[in-house]
Amino acid sequence: MRYVPRKAPDDVNVSKEHPLVEASTLVVGLSLIFLAIALVLVLMVDIVLLFVSPQREAEMFSSWRPDDFVAAEDEDDRLRPLRDLTARLVSHWEDSPYEIRVEISDDSNLNAMALPGGLIIVTSGLLNTVESENELAFVIGHELGHFRNRDHIRGLGRGVVLSILIAAVSGSGGADLGASLGDLALRSFSRGQESDADEFGLEIVLKEYGHVDEAWRFFERIDHDNQFVYLITAYVSTHPAPDDRIDRLQDLAKARRWPAEGAITPLAWQ
Ligand SMILES: [Zn+2]
């Protein structure tokens, strides 16, 4: 018997489903996939924090600095007093797992950053602007708060976080972060992370001086002195608006009954 192929029906490639139903299935499916990827990425940071203890992190990054870090000149006579002040402040953070290092970057922007391994970078622009040790102490105390809450790791880009995880799991010594200061400066923390760091910083200032006078003076000045506006962008883009922040710090000091007046300590280099 001869086989006579049947002609395929014309609509063999046409779905029986209504095109709108198909389109929405596609959209829902893709959204679910993206959601799953986002969830994995968010969890990844927590996995890193689980695997990489602060001690391990400090070991991995003991001598790391951002790729494009430009140190202020060696003869910057503010480096030694800045390190001394930081050491005094860290002493109020009992059982800090970090060996905090401080560097001054040659940058006219006003900024301070907490980076992996316990590295604090303060810009020379910020040091040119603060007028008392109390002001500077709060800025440093705030960065210490980010280390305490490990925000500095949470704020890193996903790629960087992944490379830390790989380095930790593979047991390699120094993680090659390949991060630039510009990228790191653009990280922004949530409002909650910022106010937690503020609270920790203010408590450190209280322990050091016995009062919190001038702790937020820096923000008052950058807020009201308009000629600084072009300089403050880096600090303001990564930190809360000065006005809100001053209010919150004042409220906190009042609620804790922390003395808001006291002797002001001049900067060592003034
Ligand atoms: Zn901050």
Distance (Å) from CA 123 to ligand 1 centroid? 14
Which of 15-29, 156-170, 223-237, 256-270 is predicted with the least confidence, judged by mean pLDDT? 223-237
Distance (Å) from CA 5 to ligand 1 centroid? 74
Which of 160-164, 204-208, 215-219, 248-252 is predicted with the least confidence, judged by mean pLDDT? 160-164
What CA–CA distance (Å, rounded) separates 230 from 251?
29
Q: How many CB atoms lie within 10 A of CB 238?
A: 18
pLDDT of residue 103: 92
Average pLDDT over residues 241-265: 91
DSSP 132: S
On the question of pLDDT at 37 being above 90, the answer is no
pLDDT of residue 122: 93
On the question of pLDDT at 242 being above 50, the answer is yes
What percentage of residues in the chain have a pLDDT greater than 90? 34
Residues in the 5 Å CB sphere of ion ligand 1: 194, 197
On the question of pLDDT at 29 being above 80, the answer is yes
Distance (Å) from CA 25 to ligand 1 centroid? 43
First to last CA, the chain: 108
pLDDT of residue 83: 95
Distance (Å) from CA 238 to ligand 1 centroid? 7
Residue with tokens 């689980």: 50
The verdict on pTM exceeding 0.95 is no
Average pLDDT over residues 27-42: 82
On the question of pLDDT at 227 being above 60, the answer is no
pLDDT of residue 160: 76
Distance (Å) from CA 30 to ligand 1 centroid? 35
What CA–CA distance (Å, rounded) separates 12 from 185?
57
Which residue would you say has higher pLDDT here, 16 or 137?
A: 137
Q: How confident is the model at residue 174 (pLDDT cuts 50, 70, 90)?
A: low
Letter string b/e over residues 137-152, b meaning 16 or more CB atoms within 10 A of that residue's CB: bbbbbbbbbbbbbbbb
Q: How confident is the model at residue 226 (pLDDT cuts 50, 70, 90)?
A: very low
Distance (Å) from CA 141 to ligand 1 centroid? 10
On the question of pLDDT at 237 being above 70, the answer is no
Distance (Å) from CA 92 to ligand 1 centroid? 19
pLDDT of residue 231: 47
Q: How confident is the model at residue 169 (pLDDT cuts 50, 70, 90)?
A: confident
Mapping DSSP onto H, E and C, the string for 26-54 reads: HHHHHHHHHHHHHHHHHHHHHHHHHHCCH
pLDDT of residue 228: 47
Distance (Å) from CA 187 to ligand 1 centroid? 10
- Top mean-pLDDT range of 2-11, 19-28, 69-78, 208-217: 208-217
Distance (Å) from CA 171 to ligand 1 centroid? 30
Average pLDDT over residues 120-139: 93
Distance (Å) from CA 149 to ligand 1 centroid? 11
